[in-house]
Chain A
Amino acid sequence: MKKNILFISCEEAKHICDKNQYGEASFWEKFKLGLRLSWCKITRAYTKNNNALTKCIEDSKVDALNQQELDDLKQAFEKQLGNQH
C-alpha cells in the first residue's frame, strides 16, 4: 500500500512529537504533526503531556553527572570499598 504523504499514523505522530521535544523534527514532519493534531484527540493528549514534561524538566534546571564523571566517581569509590575489605 502506498504511504500517504500528508496523513500519518498515531504512532508516527507520537514519534515526531518526541523528536520535536529535542528540536529534531523537520519542518515537513512538524507540518504533518500539526495536521494530525487538528483532528486526533489521542495525539493531542500525548502532545500535551509531552510538552508538559519538557517544560517541567526545563523549569527544574535538573542536572546529572555525565558518563566520565560517573566513571571517575565509581573508580574512586571502588578503591575505598576495596580498602574496607
Chain B
Amino acid sequence: MPEHTIDPNQWIHLYSDYLFNYTISRVNDREIAKDLVQDTFVAGLNSMKNFKGQASERTWLISILKRKIIDYYRKINSNKGKAEIRMSYSGDENEGDWLEERVADPYDKTAEDDLENNELGNAIYECLSKLPAKQAEVFKMKTILNYETEAICNELNITASNLWVIVHRARTAMAECMKKNWF
C-alpha cells in the first residue's frame, strides 16, 4: 500500500516556495525559476498516474523539477556548443552525464558556500512548513520578502501589534526548529 498520497490542489500552497527556492539557487534567474516551477507542476499533473506513493509528494515533485532544470541547461548549452558540458571529465572511468550530476547531486557544486546555503535554505523551508499557515505567511513576508510592517498589515488586514505577536510566535518556533536541525 502506498505510504504517501497525492493531492494537486494543495501543491501551490505547500510546495511553490520550496521549489522556487530550490530552482533559483540553481538557475539564478527569477523569471526562469518561476517558469520551471510552473512547468514542474504541469508535468506533475500530467504524470500523476506514475506517482507510486513510495516517496513524499515534495520529493516526487523535486525529481521532476531536477529534470526540468537539466532540460533548461541542455537547451542553453546546445546553443553555446557541447564543450562546456563535458569539461569536468578526465578519463574513461568517469563516464556519465556531467550536467545531470550537477543538478541531481549538490556535492558536485563548485563552491562549498553554495552547497551550505542550499541546505540552509532547505532547512528553513522545512521549519517554515511546520508553522501554522498564518504564522508562516507573516514570517515569509516580513523576513524573507522583507516587506514593510505597514504593507503586511494592509495586505492581511491585521494591526501592527497583532503582526508583532505573530512574528514573535513564528520566530520562537523557527529558532527552536533551526536549533534542532541546524545550529
Chain A positions within 8 Å of B, measured between CB atoms, are: 14-15, 18-19, 21-22, 24, 49-50, 52-53, 56-57, 59-67, 69-70, 72-74, 76-77, 80-81, 84
Asked if A64 and B149 sit within 8 Å, CB to CB, the answer is no
Asked if A63 and B164 make an inter-chain contact with CB atoms under 8 angstroms apart, the answer reads no
Q: How many A-B residue pairs have CB under 8 A?
A: 92
Bound: A56/B176 CA distance, A: 13
- Beta-carbon contact of B20 and A62 below 8 Å: no
Residues of A within 8 A of B12 (CB): 70, 73-74, 77
Instruction: Point out the residues of chain B lying under 8 angstroms from A49, CB to CB.
Output: 175-176, 179
- Interface membership of chain B positions 123-145, coded 1 if the CB is closer than 8 angstroms to chain A and 0 otherwise: 01100000000000000101111
Kindly state whether residue B34 has any CB partner on chain A within 8 Å.
yes
Q: Shortest CB–CB separation between residue B78 and chain A, in angstroms?
A: 27
* A50–B120 touching, CB < 8 Å: no
Query: In the complex, what residues of A have CB within 8 A of residue B164's CB?
Result: 15, 18-19
Q: Bound complex: CA of A52 vs CA of B37, how far in Å? A: 30
Q: Is the CB of A62 within 8 A of B120?
A: yes
Judged by a CB distance under 8 angstroms, whether B174 is at the interface is: yes
Contact residue range for chain B?
35 or more
Question: In the complex, are the beta carbons of A15 and B168 less than 8 A apart?
Answer: yes
Is B167 at the interface (CB under 8 A from chain A)? yes
Would B124 and A63 count as touching, CB distance under 8 A? no
Q: B36 → chain A, closest Cβ, in Å?
A: 11
The one of B25, B41, B124, B145 in contact with A77, judged by C-beta atoms closer than 8 angstroms, is B41
Give Cα distance in the complex from A60 to B137, angstroms: 19
Which residues of chain B come closer than 8 Å to A56, judged between CB atoms? 120, 124, 178, 182-183
Tell whether, in the assembled complex, residue B179 and residue A64 are in contact, meaning their CB atoms are under 8 Å apart: no
Q: How many angstroms between the C-alpha atoms of A13 and B156 in the bound complex?
A: 26
Q: Is the CB of A60 within 8 A of B41?
A: no
- Using known A-B contacts A73-B16, A74-B12, A81-B45, determine if residue A62 contacts B124 with beta carbons closer than 8 Å: yes
